[in-house]
């Protein structure tokens, strides 16, 4: 039945808010770009960073573009082969390409502003710490608001274009390509940017700090510009595409689950995730606009106030949405509160393990006094401890939101208990994402302030200015670490949401195909249970866990190989041009930028292809296995033309997705938090603790930091993208596994 005008208003309001988000981003960008852009010497350094970042992004997205086009062709052919999927082929491909383009635009737009905000932050720091903080955060806000607004607009417009106002129950299944396109671009952007930034960082640190004994961001280091470029392409563009993918994929999953509750809420249950994104845009824009800092205040205090304001506004918006759209079922608001509280707890747990004020980082710094070996042993021990508390938070959030979902819908008899509970977990995921635009603004704040400190250092500004940018940089390091923890937490909730959406999708596909040949699903059959004792499931599960470790290995090796090329070039420049160290001649920054760009792009393709191909091959190979794997369930198996439907492919992929998700979450937590702890242990020593800079403890801490760098900025962030990409790949290709 067509959607009523009253219900469709919620969709139109969400789309209007999406446009508002883009306008707010434009206003923040204009305010930042109209600020003072510093001296000629500062502009020279900033321009070099900007040119390096733009050159890398142009080459990276050209590579990603060709990969996306090739996959679009494969998708169209795969869907066109079967008469069951042929009618949806063009819709899946169109949504896939639009998702990929929107994801790319999210990363490119945010980075375009961030690489112009760094010099303006540096210039403002010469006179006011508070003004510099405001510029850096508003520069980061462009990324956050554009990401959420484009996700909202892309999904909303496609929902209307694919007939969502006339056939709302089917439209969400045709949006899965949007999430797949977003996930694909996010993986390559995060992985390629992570390889770039850490290869440059490791090369600059090992040769500059350890061998040559020069400070960080010293203009004599040939890799310093490449390092500053890497902050932008990894933490701005890469994380922007990552969060875009989170909001897109999780909204699609929640809309699919909302379709299962159509008898209860109608179209309002399906478009609720879009309204949640609209709340995110408004709450985050207000929170960012209200951030102010005094000259002697710790920057993190001001940033945290903005986060608290955003969270309170998001909670109020969620309550209003539940009241008007979900029939004032307040237990469902409890699900959203579970997500909001989980986000807060993840941020605080990550802060405990990565902040210099707390025991984990202090213990690594202390261990550095006896050399690199004890630093690495202590760092690994801390890293392996870090998943414990987050897993408890994730478990509690899932259990409570499932239980609240059942309670909130306990008077409903037209849907199963499982569907009620799973929709509760979907609302919790939306709650966790309700402040994602502000969180991403804080994340982008990190590379902007890092670059600002580098510009101040390289242009020989006064010591008091450097002290201000050091404060901002320290806050930026914290916000980057907190955002990684938040991203893993959202990936964990999203992975369960998308896994549930995959099970629901398989169930519905089987039902549709049976109806096309005049048959019905058995009344007591459901694909909501996956038997781990089944051979296809067990094999798929092992492959899923193996994929996480193999991908991590490939990502870390890629950093090592790319870093070797940087190290060799920096050493060569020092040998060939002694005037560099004497300060009488300038190093060739462009040569390092060119080397690391080529190395990063070359190394990102194989790990990315592995993630897409593995679930595809598992599902298709097991699809052609004998259905004898399921003979013990013939009594309640769906039958087509007298034969049991072969679910081996779908079950094997379910096992891969389930165990791969669990292993990926744990590994991502180990790498993100462990790497952040190593990094801040080094920074703690650089403040004067344990002998300070150039001490033996500092040298050991630099070695530990270089081990942690590919953990926290390459493999770790890429893993939580991998988790969601696995889910979106399986959602898109589910019809091909049956």
Q: Which residue has the tokens 């792009």?
A: 601
Over residues 550-579, the mean pLDDT reads 84
pLDDT tens by residue, 454-489: 888 888 888 888 888 888 887 887 787 777 778 778
Between vectors from CA 307 to CA 305 and to CA 311, what angle results, nearest 5°?
A: 120
Q: Where are the alpha helices (DSSP H) in 355-462?
A: 359-367, 372-385, 388-408, 417-432, 436-458
Q: Residue 684 corresponds to which tokens in the numbers above?
A: 């703690």
Find all residues with CB under 8 Å of 519, minimum gap 6, and list them.
639, 640
Matching residue, tokens 């259990």: 399
Helices 239-260 + 417-432 axis angle, to 10: 150
The reported pTM is 0.84
Could you tell me the sign of the dihedral formed by the alpha carbons of 421, 423, 427, 432, in that order? positive
Most confident of 164-168, 443-447, 642-646: 443-447
pLDDT at 17: 94
For the stretch 206-263, pLDDT in tens is 777 667 677 666 777 777 777 777 777 777 777 777 778 778 878 888 888 888 888 8
- The answer on pLDDT for 627 being more than 80 is no
- Residue 686 and residue 175 in contact, taking contact as beta carbons nearer than 8 Å: no
CA atoms in the 13 A half-sphere facing the CB of 521 = 13
- Confidence bin at 670 (pLDDT 50/70/90): very high
Question: What's the pLDDT band for 631 if we cut at 50, 70, 90?
Answer: very low
pLDDT at 281 over 90: yes
The proportion of the chain whose per-residue pLDDT surpasses 70, expressed as a percent, equals 96
Q: How far is CA 208 from CA 203, 435, 644, in A?
A: 8, 39, 66
Q: Token pair of 415, please?
A: 């849907």
Q: How far apart are CA 456 and CA 474, in angstroms?
A: 15
Output Rg (C-alpha) for the chain, integer angstroms. Answer: 25
Rounded CA separation 168/178 (Å): 17
What is the pLDDT averaged over residues 657-669?
Answer: 90
Query: pLDDT value at position 212?
Result: 67
Instruction: Tell me the CB-side half-sphere exposure of residue 141, using CA atoms within 13 A.
Output: 34
Task: Tell me which DSSP letter residue 584 carries.
Answer: S
pLDDT in tens, 182-197: 888 887 877 777 787 7
What separation in angstroms does the CA of 120 have from each of 182, 269, 440, 509, 681?
31, 44, 20, 54, 29
Q: Is residue 543 pLDDT above 90, yes or no? A: yes
> Span 284-309, mean pLDDT?
88
Q: What is the pLDDT of residue 401?
A: 92
Please say whether the beta carbons of 589 and 225 come within 8 A. Answer: yes
Lowest mean pLDDT among 27-41, 377-391, 450-464: 450-464
Instruction: Report H helices in 171-261.
Output: 176-204, 224-232, 239-260
Task: Please state, in angstroms and rounded to a whole number, the distance separating the CA atoms of residues 270 and 504.
Answer: 14
Residue pair 378/364 in contact by the 8 Å Cβ criterion:
yes
Predicted local confidence at residue 403, as pLDDT: 93
pLDDT band of 1, cuts 50, 70, 90: low
Higher-pLDDT residue of 235 and 264 is 264
């Amino acid at each position: 039945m067509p959607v009523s005008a009253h219900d469709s208003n919620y969709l139109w309001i969400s789309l209007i808010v999406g446009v508002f988000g883009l306008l707010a981003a434009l206003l923040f960008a204009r305010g930042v770009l109209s600020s003072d852009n510093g001296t000629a010497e500062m502009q020279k350094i900033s321009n070099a960073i900007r040119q390096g970042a733009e050159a890398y992004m142009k080459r990276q997205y050209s590579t990603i573009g060709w990969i996306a086009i090739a996959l679009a062709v494969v998708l169209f052919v795969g869907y066109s082969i079967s008469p069951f999927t042929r009618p949806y082929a063009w819709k899946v491909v169109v949504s896939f390409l639009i998702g990929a383009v929107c994801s790319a635009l999210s990363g490119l737009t945010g980075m375009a502003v961030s690489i112009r905000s760094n010099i303006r932050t540096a210039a403002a720091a010469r006179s006011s710490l508070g003004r510099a903080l405001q510029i850096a955060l508003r520069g980061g806000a462009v990324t956050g608001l554009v990401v959420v607004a484009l996700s909202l607009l892309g999904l909303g417009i496609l929902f209307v274009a694919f007939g969502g106002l006339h056939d709302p129950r089917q439209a969400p299944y045709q949006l899965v390509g949007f999430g797949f396109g977003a996930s694909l671009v996010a993986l390559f952007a995060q992985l390629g940017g992570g390889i770039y930034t850490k290869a440059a960082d490791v090369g600059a640190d090992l040769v500059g700090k350890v061998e040559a004994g020069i400070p960080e961001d010293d203009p004599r280091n040939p890799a310093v510009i490449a390092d500053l470029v890497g902050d932008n392409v990894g933490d701005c563009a890469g994380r922007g595409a990552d969060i875009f993918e989170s909001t897109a994929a999780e909204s699609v999953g929640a809309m699919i689950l909302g379709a299962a509750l159509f008898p209860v809420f109608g179209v309002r249950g399906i478009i609720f995730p879009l309204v949640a994104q609209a709340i995110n845009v408004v709450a985050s824009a207000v929170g960012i606009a209200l951030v102010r800092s005094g000259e002697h205040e710790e920057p993190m205090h001001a940033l945290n106030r903005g986060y608290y304001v955003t969270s309170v506004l998001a909670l109020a918006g969620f309550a209003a949405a539940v009241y008007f759209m979900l029939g004032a079922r307040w237990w469902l608001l409890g699900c959203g509160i579970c997500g909001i509280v989980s986000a807060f707890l993840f941020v605080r747990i990550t802060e405990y393990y990565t902040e210099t004020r707390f025991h984990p980082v202090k213990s690594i710094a202390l261990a550095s006094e006896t050399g690199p070996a004890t630093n690495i042993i202590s760092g690994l021990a801390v890293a392996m401890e870090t998943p414990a508390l987050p897993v408890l938070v994730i478990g509690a959030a899932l259990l409570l939101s499932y239980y609240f979902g059942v309670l909130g819908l306990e008077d409903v008899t037209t849907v199963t208990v499982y569907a009620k509970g799973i929709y509760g977990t979907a609302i919790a995921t939306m709650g966790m994402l309700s402040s994602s635009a502000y969180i991403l603004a804080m994340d982008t704040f990190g590379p902007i302030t890092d670059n600002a400190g580098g510009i101040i250092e390289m242009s020989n500004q006064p010591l008091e200015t450097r002290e201000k940018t050091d404060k901002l940089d320290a806050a930026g390091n914290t916000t980057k670490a907190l955002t990684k923890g938040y991203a893993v937490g959202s990936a964990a909730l999203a992975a369960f949401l998308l896994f549930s959406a995959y099970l629901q999708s398989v169930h519905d596909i089987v039902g549709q195909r049976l109806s096309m040949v005049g048959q019905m699903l058995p009344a007591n059959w459901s694909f909501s249970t996956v038997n781990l004792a089944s051979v296809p499931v067990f094999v798929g599960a092992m492959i899923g866990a193996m994929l996480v470790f193999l991908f991590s290995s490939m990502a870390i090796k890629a950093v090592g190989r790319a870093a070797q090329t940087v190290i060799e070039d920096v050493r060569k420049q020092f040998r060939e041009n002694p005037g560099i160290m004497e300060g009488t001649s300038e190093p060739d920054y462009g040569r390092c930028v060119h080397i690391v760009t080529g190395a990063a792009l070359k190394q990102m393709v194989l790990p990315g292809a592995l993630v897409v191909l593995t679930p595809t091959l598992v599902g298709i190979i097991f699809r052609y296995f004998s259905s004898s794997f399921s003979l013990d369930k013939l009594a309640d198996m769906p039958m087509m033309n007298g034969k049991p439907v072969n679910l081996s492919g779908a079950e094997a992929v379910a096992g891969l997705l389930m165990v791969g998700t669990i292993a990926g979450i744990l590994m991502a937590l180990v790498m993100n938090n462990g790497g952040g702890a190593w990094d801040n242990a080094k920074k703690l020593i650089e403040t004067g603790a344990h002998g300070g800079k150039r001490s033996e403890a500092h040298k050991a801490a630099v070695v530990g930091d270089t081990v942690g760098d590919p953990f926290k900025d390459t493999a770790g962030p890429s893993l939580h993208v991998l988790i969601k990409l696995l889910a979106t790949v399986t959602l898109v290709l589910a019809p091909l596994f049956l």
